[in-house]
Amino acid sequence: MKRLLLLACCAPLFSACDTGMIAPSVQEITLAPNERAQAGGLVLTFTRVVSDTRCPMGALCRPGYVSNAVIELALSRGATAPDAVVDVSLETTPTEARYAGYSVALTQLAPVRQPGSDIPPGDYRATVRITRTLP
């Protein structure tokens, strides 16, 4: 009886009202250069690494050194040609781009830089977080 009474009292707290709003959704995708992926209604292509000034693994970078990576993404809605080309970065502002109700942020760039060696462009892998924002 106590459970039934508790359920009856708490039911209004758990019922959802229809506000017509869609909750934000988040998805992470890892892409190789020129690889294309779809997240919801957004199509994105990792076109290239614009710059990679991350401090190499094991190196002693001077204080104040700006360690950053910037990639270029082509964005579109559906299968059409890209509507926008945006840069997103790991460390500096802006770190995300907004397009057609989505927010896109670079969360990781692999591989880690090694001292004295360059990373071949085809070896990069970019992990991006795509968030569908509220309308």
Residue 25 within any structural domain of the chain: no
pLDDT of residue 92: 60
Residue 13 within any structural domain of the chain: no
pLDDT of residue 88: 84
Closest CA to 64 of 53, 77, 72, 73: 53
Residue 94 within any structural domain of the chain: yes
> Residue 57: is it exposed, middle or buried by C-beta count within 10 angstroms (0-12/13-18/19+)?
exposed
Residue 18 within any structural domain of the chain: no
pLDDT of residue 4: 38
Domain that holds residue 45: 31-132
Q: Which residues of the chain have pLDDT under 70?
A: 1-24, 79, 92-94, 134-135
What is the SS3 assignment for 95? coil
> Residue 49: is it exposed, middle or buried by C-beta count within 10 angstroms (0-12/13-18/19+)?
middle
CA dist 76 and 52 (Å) reads 25
Amino acid at 81: A
